[in-house]
Amino acid sequence: MFSAFLYRYIGWVLVAAILITACQDGISQNPNAKSYLPLSTDCRVVEHAVGKTKICGKPQKIAVLEPKILSMILALGVQPAAYADAYLLRWRQFNNPSKQIPYLGQFVTSQPINLGDRSHPSLETLTLIKPDLILGLNSQENKLFFSIAPTVLIDNDKNWQNNIKIVAKALDSQKNIPSIISSQQEQLNKVRTQLAPLVNTHPRVLNIACSQSMNYIEIIYNGDTIEILKKIGFQPVLLADVERKLGVRAQINLETLSQLDADIVIINTWLDNWHGESIYTVPVKKLKQKWAKNPLLHNSRAWKEGQVYFVDYTLWGGVIGAPIANSLILEQLPSLLLSHTSN
């Protein structure tokens, strides 16, 4: 008990010290700074979503504030020292990441410190671990990050190919970029060939997010999965009167859903809460059973031909993000869509 209290007390003291320093001297890694001291040969300035950050050498202790960023650094061959997940997990450390971090954990060989929920990463823990680099999204911007360590924040509205280049420069891992992009393109080309006959006969795909209770249904208009489907040759089914841009959510009811004509329907669902005590499993079968009991949803061609599929929103809905999520989706797509039965 005393050691836990002492740990938290030291964290509070360090955070307070950072607050005082930031107020007195300005933020040491000011994202809007327009001038820097002359760069040494191993230093570089990284331009990112909220400004510029000077980084020297190859960072070794990296704090990752978001699953999308974790996907990128793992693809670049870099391991996290600390991590904030989409779920609020109760461990101090990810000592068994393959079971504790959905999908991405299988690629994690380190045992990163848990920074808490990505919505509110722990400043206290960040201060205590003293990272060499903090990586996150611009939606997570907090000026205190820049006082703890050099910080790079990417714009989630930009495509992953541009964002991973920013992350790679921060990590001094640019040499890996061409192989990552070419490998994903090769995988996409292969899947496009496999699914070409299905695209010819069933071109219209409706991609929706649906809660387990079915009281929230949303047409997914954008994101990596939609881009993958389009590049394969499918035509996303959309509502004509909805602005199609990032951040716009087209929420609909069951009646509207039943009137949308699609050849294939992909339904993304999720766990409302998961704290890591049990194996991560999304109950897609339960939602399928509810769907099967609703006659409103049985008139579409997709349902009649067994082309309605249930998938995990965490992977397919963009929570994890490219490039690893894209690769996993491309692995699953042929077996999913060519099974000709509801899953």
**Cβ atoms < 10 Å from Cβ of 37:** 7
The answer, yes or no, to whether residue 151 has pLDDT greater than 50, is yes
pLDDT tens digits along 131-144: 999 999 999 988 89
**Any idea of the CA torsion for 121, 140, 29, 115, to the nearest 10 degrees?**
10
Average pLDDT over residues 269-285: 85
Q: Is residue 66 part of a domain?
A: yes
Domain boundary pick from 120, 139, 172 = 172
332: tokens are: 């699953």
Q: How confident is the model at residue 8 (pLDDT cuts 50, 70, 90)?
A: very low
In the chain, the percentage of residues whose pLDDT exceeds 90 is 68
Average pLDDT over residues 245-260: 79
Omega before residue 97 within 30° of 0, cis = no
pLDDT tens digits along 165-208: 999 999 999 999 999 999 999 999 999 999 999 999 999 999 99
Q: How confident is the model at residue 338 (pLDDT cuts 50, 70, 90)?
A: very high
153 and 215 assigned to the same domain? no
160 and 37 assigned to the same domain? yes
Q: Is residue 203 part of a domain?
A: yes
pTM of the model: 0.86
In angstroms, the CA 20 to CA 26 distance is: 10
8 Å CB contact between 83 and 72: no
8 Å CB contact between 177 and 317: no
User: What local confidence, expressed as pLDDT, does residue 35 receive?
Assistant: 45
189 and 332 assigned to the same domain? yes
203: tokens are: 């071109």
8 Å CB contact between 285 and 320: no
Q: How confident is the model at residue 91 (pLDDT cuts 50, 70, 90)?
A: confident
User: What local confidence, expressed as pLDDT, does residue 259 receive?
Assistant: 87
Query: Of 87-101, 124-138, 222-236, where does mean pLDDT reach its minimum?
Result: 87-101
Most confident among 25-29, 35-39, 262-266 (mean pLDDT): 262-266
CATH number of the domain to which 206 belongs: 3.40.50.1980
In angstroms, the CA 233 to CA 220 distance is: 17
In angstroms, the CA 337 to CA 195 distance is: 8
- Name the one residue in this structure whose structure tokens are 């007390």: 9
Omega before residue 102 within 30° of 0, cis = no
Average pLDDT over residues 124-134: 97
Query: Of 8-17, 98-107, 259-268, 276-285, where does mean pLDDT reach its minimum?
Result: 8-17
Q: What is the DSSP letter of 80?
A: -
Average pLDDT over residues 236-263: 78
Q: What is the DSSP letter of 111?
A: -
Most confident among 215-219, 250-254, 270-274 (mean pLDDT): 215-219
User: What local confidence, expressed as pLDDT, does residue 343 receive?
Assistant: 43
Q: How confident is the model at residue 227 (pLDDT cuts 50, 70, 90)?
A: very high
Domain boundary pick from 132, 147, 172 = 172
Q: Is residue 97 part of a domain?
A: yes
Count of structural domains, the chain: 2
Cβ neighbours of residue 239 under 8 Å, at least 6 residues apart?
Answer: 219, 250, 252, 256, 260
In angstroms, the CA 267 to CA 335 distance is: 16
Q: Domain of residue 241: give its range.
A: 181-337
Q: Is residue 14 part of a domain?
A: no
The secondary structure of 81-133 as a DSSP string is: SEEEESS----SB-SSHHHHSTTGGGG--S-PEEEEETTS--HHHHHHH--SE
Average pLDDT over residues 19-26: 39
Q: Is residue 26 part of a domain?
A: no
User: What local confidence, expressed as pLDDT, does residue 18 receive?
Assistant: 44
Domain boundary pick from 117, 149, 172 = 172
Q: What is the DSSP letter of 339?
A: S
| pLDDT averaged over every residue in the chain | 86
Q: How confident is the model at residue 245 (pLDDT cuts 50, 70, 90)?
A: low
8 Å CB contact between 248 and 221: yes
In angstroms, the CA 303 to CA 211 distance is: 19
8 Å CB contact between 73 and 36: no
246 and 270 assigned to the same domain? yes
Pairing of strands 217-219, 250-252: antiparallel
pLDDT tens digits along 48-89: 999 999 999 999 999 999 999 999 999 999 999 999 999 877
Phi, psi for 76 (deg, rounded to 5): -85, 0
